[in-house]
Amino acid sequence: FIPKAYTAETRPLEIIFLDVGQGDGAVLITPERDDSERIIVIDAGISHNMFDFLRKRFRPYKKDMQFHAAVITHPDEDHYHGCKSIFGTPKFGFDTIYHNGLVERPVSGTFDKLGGLTKEADDDRSYLGDLAIGKARIEQLFGPGVDIGKFVFPAVMRMALENPNIKDFAMLSTEHGTKEDGRTWMPGFAPSDAVDYSIEVMGPVAEFDVAGKPRLRKIGSYGETKNGHSVLLRLHFGKFKVLFGGDLNEKAEKFLLTHYSGRSRFPRAGTDAYDEMVEKAAKRFRADIMKVCHHGSEKVTDAFIEAVHPAAFVISSGDEEGHVHPRPDLLGRLGRLGRGATPVILSTELQRSTRERENEKLIMDTIGRILKLHETPKDSLRDRIIEDISKLGQSNVTVYGTIYLKTDGERLITAFRIETSSETKKWFTFEYVQDEEGELTLVS
């Protein structure tokens, strides 16, 4: 039995920051109890983890497996490749696949993959103008008549086009969405849509050429540009806000901060202009929880963290040591710049539990059987070796580092599973409330 004090009359809004290994993957579940519930998948990592999670979590009560939307924040494989198995399974459907307008074509190179760069006479900047705004452009680029070769992103888009239960494709940006009160909202999630929550689109920031055609600014190298134009979402629900930071980098954050503060240049730290910029940008970016940019890379600005100023950070990263994510120096900066005396830092990689070593006895037994097979070959012995090797090849993960967030708009809880044999103490939780002055307080 569950004590009544631990139950609620209303269902909370839920966000699951899935442990997808190296990459990003989150699932947002709206609080409705009936068929009006909406499920949004925001990136899907690089592995099968998102596919497995969706199948096991929703199949028991959602037989059609039709979800509201998938958001591919930008075309990096550790954000979209997990979509391949999902889109390629017709049992999974999405009303809309959203993206940032930058889709990699089946060609070699860098910016050529995104349609090439353009310039105008009185502007020394370069822009990406061939944006995939709607479904028709996706069909032109990745439809059945196009040779997509062995390119990965085009293969994922082709699978989505061939899935009869995926209905539409659309770009999300500050100019592509529902415009209300000088802001842009995800379609169906604007303040006027008469629900208790809303999702604001903070990026990418689309600009217009002289002909009024939307474009995205080149803000660095190829990687910096496509990462820096990640779809940025800010969820509003009751007293709380959650920011999904994509794969932003220093150059992108400086661009966004100057844009949202109305400045033409990024001021020097320690000046009045710098403080004014952060204060003004904070009115648009401030959030209580932040999905940290770029898996905990150190290549982010203090100014952006100060503008968001969250009480809790969520980092999605994996065990690919070459990335060194999350960076130790970044963790120190988050602790210094977060809200309150003890900002909470949650990491899918750090919260994961793994076995120190595989089954040593099984390894030695298998080696012995291999030696016997060499001496006296038998099909039964061969089959036993194959079975043992399959066991040794199983996941080394004891507890995945998935991070859960639930809020009813008045209270907010973040939690993760802990490695324990207890049937009742399986979770480590942090609970937040806001006081009468609107300040966030950690209660546990």
pLDDT digits (tens, 9 = 90+) for 95-132: 999 999 999 999 999 999 999 999 988 889 999 999 99
| Mean of per-residue pLDDT scores for the chain | 92
Q: Give 414's DSSP letter.
A: E
Is residue 348 within 8 A of residue 402, CB to CB? The reply is yes
Return the number of other C-beta atoms located less than 10 Å from residue 254's C-beta: 18
Q: Are strands 240-244 and 289-291 parallel, antiparallel or unpaired?
A: parallel
pLDDT category at 359 given cuts 50, 70, 90 is low
Lowest mean per-residue pLDDT among 9-23, 207-221, 390-404, 409-423 = 390-404
Return the number of other C-beta atoms located less than 10 Å from residue 16's C-beta: 18
Residue 169 carries which side chain, given as an amino acid letter?
Answer: F
Exposed/middle/buried for 378, CB within 10 Å: 0-12, 13-18, 19+? exposed
Q: Which two tokens stand for residue 61?
A: 């009560």
Taken in order 415, 326, 22, 353, the sign of the CA dihedral is negative
pLDDT category at 356 given cuts 50, 70, 90 is low
Percent of the chain whose predicted confidence (pLDDT) is above 70: 96
3-state secondary structure 47-100: CCHHHHHHHHHHCCCCCCCEEEEEEECCCCHHHHCCHHHHHCCCCCEEEEEEEC
Mean pLDDT value of segment 221-244: 97
Whole-number Å distance between alpha carbons of 277 and 307: 9
pLDDT of residue 327: 85
Residue bearing the bigger pLDDT, 167 or 34: 167
pLDDT of residue 115: 96
pTM over 0.85: yes
